[in-house]
């Protein structure tokens, strides 16, 4: 796929053709989904600001067309219900098969991730309310625009299919595949009501001013789907207290409609985005990004092995995976096992498996402890040191430890038996009760 790349000066010239009367007096390049778009900020003679987005390939062009449909579908009632501004397309210019879009710039500025977190709880609450407002948009607004609509079951099945594709590459660590597979097969995790989802939500799509969110842009992936997708970027932030404050405000705003497992699926989406990115890079034969994706997957795998990772599943992993929490040094015994993300912020994803909240550290230990306690209740006389041994052994330990004179007596009672046989073998022990009965 041949990529088209335009400079900020070229984009400013294109803007004059898209918006009659626009006279640029200044321009600057923007980092706005740079893999798919060339973007620039243009200031005209009247000091009005304009944002220009030019697609670099056909797929990016389709995303811009989808955003245009979405923005047109938002009725005046929907717009009035949102606590932030939406983009407005001022004009477009077609150059060959691709169209460049010019938007009126919106108030505020794009925050960095550090700035977003440092602003404090006021912005966290504003962000939670903002995300709740998006997820409360009526589904009909998206359906009328002809944009994708998925049920919870369809979303889970699509992820399972993508997991199979990622596993087939042979480049994803088996521990990660097992971890993701268990979460995707945990039916309890996927009991949620689909909602309108922004689809590309992160700090780069926000405009903030005075600790409040003034605008949200980047509606190219709007659809009805899993609300957790809009939280995936938050699960990758090292300061989990900020994410918790955002989620708390979100739950308060949505009430009973809030899904309690959103942050688990968000963590899954953030981790799994690396595998999706790997598959996408393999499809495009981008060997530099393939190598980078593989390295990031290895780092994620190592961090999860060391810290346990953020909790994903509602139902704990099966006993074979959690039976030996203390032997985490054995890192390879497991069997081998987006919508493909249009872009990925590698700076954020590398922090995915940073040391999780304290409550998540002993992941997998509790079910084993409970099961062990249940076994000890059924077998009060069992020795604690024998809990991990073969289930057939404890019932045969007592006869195998007879005194030597009793073993001699038993041998004399059966002259036909081989005198050199080991008196402690299971077969020998099982014959002894029958021999005594014969007496």
Whether 436 maps to a domain, the answer reads no
- Residue 33 belongs to a domain with what CATH number? 3.30.200.20
- Residue 360 belongs to a domain with what CATH number? 3.90.1200.10
Whether pLDDT at 252 is above 90: yes
One domain, residues 151 and 66: no
Q: Decide: 135 and 82 in contact? Cβ < 8 Å.
A: no
One domain, residues 280 and 359: yes
Whether pLDDT at 407 is above 90: no
Whether 187 maps to a domain, the answer reads yes
Which pLDDT tens digit goes with each residue over 25-46? 999 998 878 888 999 999 999 9
Report the alpha-carbon distance of residue 265 to residue 154 in Å, rounded. Answer: 15
Q: Which of 335, 364, 393 is the last residue of a domain?
A: 364
Per DSSP, the three-state class of 42 is strand
pTM above 0.85, yes or no: no
Nearest to 61 by CA among 30, 38, 29: 38
Predicted local distance difference test score (pLDDT) of residue 273: 96
One domain, residues 96 and 243: no
How does DSSP assign 368-418, residue by residue? HHHHHHHHHHH-TTS-GGGTTS-TTSGGGHHHHT--HHHHHHHHHT-TTS-
Report the alpha-carbon distance of residue 142 to residue 119 in Å, rounded. Answer: 33
One domain, residues 144 and 291: yes
Which pLDDT tens digit goes with each residue over 139-163? 998 888 889 999 999 999 999 999 9
Question: What residue ranges in 160-237 does DSSP mark as E strands?
Answer: 195-197, 206-209, 212-216, 223-225
Domains in the chain, number: 2
Q: Which of 318, 339, 364 is the last residue of a domain?
A: 364
Whether 2 maps to a domain, the answer reads no
Both tokens assigned to 110: 């794009």
Which pLDDT tens digit goes with each residue over 385-400? 443 444 444 444 444 4
Q: Which of 329, 364, 399 is the last residue of a domain?
A: 364
Whether 393 maps to a domain, the answer reads no
One domain, residues 118 and 98: no
Predicted local distance difference test score (pLDDT) of residue 128: 94
Whether 405 maps to a domain, the answer reads no
Do β-strands 195-197 and 98-104 pair in parallel, antiparallel, or remain unpaired?
unpaired
One domain, residues 98 and 148: no
Q: What is the CA radius of gyration of the chain?
A: 30
Which pLDDT tens digit goes with each residue over 55-106? 999 999 999 998 998 898 898 999 999 999 999 999 999 988 899 999 999 9
Which pLDDT tens digit goes with each residue over 262-311? 999 999 999 999 999 999 999 999 999 999 999 999 999 999 999 888 88
One domain, residues 122 and 158: yes
Report the alpha-carbon distance of residue 154 to residue 39 in Å, rounded. Answer: 34
Whether 417 maps to a domain, the answer reads no
One domain, residues 318 and 170: yes
Report the alpha-carbon distance of residue 354 to residue 346 in Å, rounded. Answer: 14
Whether 300 maps to a domain, the answer reads yes
One domain, residues 282 and 332: yes
Show the domain range for 27.
8-104
Half-sphere exposure of 281 (CA within 13 A, CB side): 21
Report the alpha-carbon distance of residue 94 to residue 79 in Å, rounded. Answer: 28
Both tokens assigned to 346: 């590698």
Report the alpha-carbon distance of residue 98 to residue 57 in Å, rounded. Answer: 8
């Amino acid at each position: 796929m041949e990529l088209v790349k335009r400079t900020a000066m070229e984009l400013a010239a294109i803007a004059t053709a898209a918006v009659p009367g626009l006279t640029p007096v200044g321009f600057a390049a923007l980092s706005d989904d740079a893999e798919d778009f060339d973007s620039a900020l243009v200031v005209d003679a009247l000091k009005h600001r304009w944002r220009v987005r030019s697609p670099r390939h056909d797929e990016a062009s389709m995303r811009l067309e989808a955003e245009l449909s979405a923005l047109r579908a938002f009725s005046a009632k929907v717009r009035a219900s949102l606590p932030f501004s939406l983009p407005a397309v001022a004009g477009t210019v077609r150059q060959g098969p691709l169209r460049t879009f010019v938007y009126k710039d919106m108030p505020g500025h794009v925050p960095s991730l550090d700035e977003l977190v440092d602003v404090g709880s006021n912005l966290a609450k504003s962000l939670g309310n903002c995300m709740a407002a998006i997820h409360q948009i009526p589904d009909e607004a998206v359906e009328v625009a002809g944009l994708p609509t998925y049920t919870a079951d369809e979303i889970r099945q699509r992820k399972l299919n993508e997991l199979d594709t990622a596993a087939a590459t042979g480049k994803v660590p088996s521990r990660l595949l097992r971890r993701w597979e268990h979460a995707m097969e945990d039916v309890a995790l996927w009991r949620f009501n689909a909602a309108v989802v922004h689809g590309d939500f992160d700090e780069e799509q926000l405009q903030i001013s005075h600790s409040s969110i003034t605008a949200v842009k980047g509606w190219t992936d709007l659809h009805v789907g899993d609300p957790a997708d809009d939280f995936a970027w938050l699960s990758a932030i090292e300061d989990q207290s900020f994410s918790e404050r955002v989620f708390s405000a979100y739950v308060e705003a949505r009430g009973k409609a809030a899904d309690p497992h959103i942050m688990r699926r968000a963590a899954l989406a953030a981790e799994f985005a690396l595998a999706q990115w790997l598959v996408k890079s393999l499809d495009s034969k981008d060997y530099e990004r393939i190598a980078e994706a593989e390295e990031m997957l290895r780092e994620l795998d190592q961090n999860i092995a060391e810290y346990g990772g953020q909790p994903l599943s509602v139902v704990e992993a099966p006993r074979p995976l959690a039976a030996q929490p203390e032997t985490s040094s054995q890192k390879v015994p497991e069997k081998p096992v987006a919508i493909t993300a249009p872009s990925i912020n590698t700076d954020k994803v590398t922090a995915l498996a940073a040391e999780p909240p304290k409550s998540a550290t002993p992941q997998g230990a509790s079910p084993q402890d409970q099961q062990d306690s249940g076994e000890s209740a059924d077998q009060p006389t069992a020795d604690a040191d024998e809990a991990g041994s073969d289930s057939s052994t404890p019932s045969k330990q007592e006869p195998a430890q007879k005194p030597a004179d009793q073993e001699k007596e038993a041998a004399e009672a059966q002259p036909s038996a081989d005198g050199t046989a080991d008196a402690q073998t299971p077969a020998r022990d099982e014959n002894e009760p029958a021999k005594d009965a014969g007496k």
